[in-house]
Structure 1
Amino acid sequence: MQPPSNPVANAQLAPATKITRDLSRLPEPKGKVVAAVYGFRDQTGQYKPSPDSSFSTAVTQGAASLLVKALKDSGWFTPVERENLQNLLTERKIVRALETPQDKGSPAVHLPPLMPATVLIEGGIVAYETNVRTGGAGARYLGVGGKTQYRVDQVTVNLRAVDIRTGQILNSISTTKTIYSYELSTGVFRFVNFKELLELEAGYTRNEPSQLCVREAIEAAVVHLTVQGLKDKVWALKDEKDWNSPVLQAYLKQNNDYLNQVEDAGHEQSATDREGKS
């Protein structure tokens, strides 16, 4: 049986996912892109089921922080602080006030200018679907049996890169991640004697953390955004030989598979329309 979690375990870094490893294995860029993130909001408007539906949202409200970390971990972007820009400006004013020379002949203190961004990263958590798929199985014989149940939810994020000079949307990416939960239980309910009833129960439940699934979907969107930018020549590799990188080739294949699916769906729709007209 699965032992309970250690209640005195020390805090540790959030576990890495497969997408986190892909981020760290991206080849080097010709030059890092300065990116600004003003916000990455929860656009689903969903709350957790009753009884705490009025107090807790279904997905994390800190997605902007997850996005900034993913951009930083990719090695392709240099994020600049914009979400709490007013706090940064206030601190700069305090520095200027404290370091202003008292003597008229002393030189004034000049802070370096803030770094301007070249692209704006926008988007949000656009969908959170519960009970996309549910099921289970069970059996009992002579009071002894077990059962298992599972539930699949799905979270979808959208990410787009915007050229700050023209407002042109350079790329737009949507990624989804399933959230898997399951329960396994067993029990015994039978008489062992004329007046003696034996009842035993045991179970195990596993719920995939929704915030880690949101993080993984954001990281996947960042990798796809980077690869799409390379494909469209929005940014460039430091060494063109890195096009053969396994990470780039894997994500290029995913993109090609997606385009093929869209093309096949278009052909099917055209054939349906022709049949309808005939």
Structure 2
Amino acid sequence: MNRFALRATLALVSAAVLTLSGCAVSPQNVAGNATLTPPTRVTRDLVHLPPPKGRVLAAVYGFRDLTGQYKPSPDSSFSSQVTQGGASFLVAAMRDSGWFTPVERENLQDLLTERKIMRALETPDDKNRVIPQIGALAPASIILEGGIVAYDSNVKTGGAGVAYLGISGSQQYRVDQVTVNLRTVDIRNGQILNSVSTTKTIYSYQVDVGVYKFVGFKDLLQAEAGLTRNEPAQLCVKEAIESAVVHLIVQGLKNQTWALTDDKDWYDQTVQRYLQENQNYVADMDKVNTSYDPTKVEPEKASSGG
């Protein structure tokens, strides 16, 4: 290889390595301080909903992982594929929306134990001691039920690569999906007021570049660089739960389960966008399941006589 070809090869490899190094996380950022959990795309819609006529007291007894899936080997055969803290994400989404007042039910026994301890202090020997007042527990008007109902791995995979004269580059991607279901239940009669299922894709990709080339009679140049990006699964679950909460609120407005402070807020941009999404869902369902038309049914062929 001549001197100009060697310089061109080294320049190409250096550019590829610098490009990937710029996208990679530097070691100093790996040991960064703890921060608040980053918001998702739906978080903005959740906090920008128009105010309700009155907040709804709601209870969450649990939001479990109903998939029963575990991480594939060699990661761990005893570690769940998705987060087990769905109820915490749901309660946070309810409070952020400004439409619900969550009451503690998931760890109700701990709350009752503390109330018993406080009641035991209501009759102290010292009469001059200030006795803390304890009120009655607030009953919920509705219960939010549901869970993580599906986690599908490798829904879509693919990639592309090219190699020329010992210089190669490739890119691979994988798409997973997580689905959650959320419904509201009226405690007075057990009627399910609204129910919605939301799906969020989890995107992962990998980029690799390398060179394997003799730059001299006995001189071999070998260099590799790569970058992998995996979308955090817990943030995808969080976004799916937040989307389900917004859809439940909009469905409740449409069904007049609850009301807005100002009726003009019905034309709010966020509300109308989610209404349009529901209408598109119904339209897509009609396309998949065509209506029954008896005039287009072919008559059954008469069986031939023996």
* TM-score clears 0.5: yes
Match for residue 36 of structure 1?
Answer: 59
Q: 1:191 aligns with which of 192, 196, 214?
A: 214
1:156 alignment counterpart: 179
- The answer as to 2:78 corresponding to 1:55 is yes
C-alpha distance in 1, partners of 2:24/2:217? 35
Q: Partner letter of residue 143 of structure 2?
A: L
Match for residue 229 of structure 1? 252
Give me the whole-angstrom Cα distance separating, in 1, the residues matched to 2:289 and 2:295: 11
Cα deviation, residue 271, structure 1? 6.0
Which deviates more, 62-71 or 105-114?
A: 105-114
| Partner of residue 129 from structure 1, selected from 152, 157, 177 | 152
Q: Deviations over 1:214-236 (max 9, x none)?
A: 00000000000000000000000
Identify the residue that residue 231 of structure 2 maps to in structure 1. Answer: 208
Is 2:43 the counterpart of 1:26? no
**In structure 2, how many angstroms separate the alpha carbons of the residues matched to 1:9 and 1:125?**
31
Structure 2 Cα separation of the partners of residues 134 and 215 of structure 1: 24
Question: What is the TM-score normalised by the length of structure 2?
Answer: 0.86
Question: Identity across aligned pairs (percent)?
Answer: 63
Query: Which residues of structure 1 form unaligned runs of 5+?
Result: none
- Displacement of 1:272 in angstroms is 10
> For the residues of structure 1 that align with 2:124 and 2:88, how far apart are their CA atoms?
37
User: Structure 1 residue aligned with 2:167, among 119, 123, 144?
Assistant: 144
**TM-superposed deviation, 1:105:** 10
Q: 1:14 aligns with which of 14, 24, 37?
A: 37
Match of residue 4 from structure 1: 25
Counterpart residue number, 2:109: 86
Question: What's the secondary structure of 1:51's corresponding residue?
Answer: coil
TM-score scaled by structure 1? 0.95
Name the counterpart of 1:244: 267
CA shift at 1:277, angstroms? 5.2
**Within 2, Cα distance between the matches of 1:45 and 1:20?**
28
Distance 1:215 1:277, change over 3 A: farther
Q: Is the 8 A contact 2:57 2:101 kept in 1?
A: yes
1:101–1:109 CA contact under 8 A, matched in 2: no
Judge conservation of contact 1:100–1:109 (CA < 8 Å) in 2: no
Q: CA shift at 1:103, angstroms?
A: 5.9
Amino acid at match of 2:180: V
CA distance in 1, matches of 2:126, 2:65: 52
- Decide which moves more: 146-155 or 88-97: 88-97
RMSD: 2.0
The alignment covers a number of residue pairs equal to 277
Mind listing any 5+ residue stretches in structure 2 that lack a counterpart? 1-20, 301-306
Q: 1:97-112 alignment to 2 at 5 Å? A: 97-102=120-125, 110-112=133-135
Residue in structure 2 matched with residue 119 of structure 1 by the alignment: 142
Task: Give the AA of the match of 1:159.
Answer: L
d(CA) in 1 for partners of 2:46 and 2:40? Answer: 10
Moved more, 104-113 or 134-143: 104-113
Partner SS for 1:161: strand
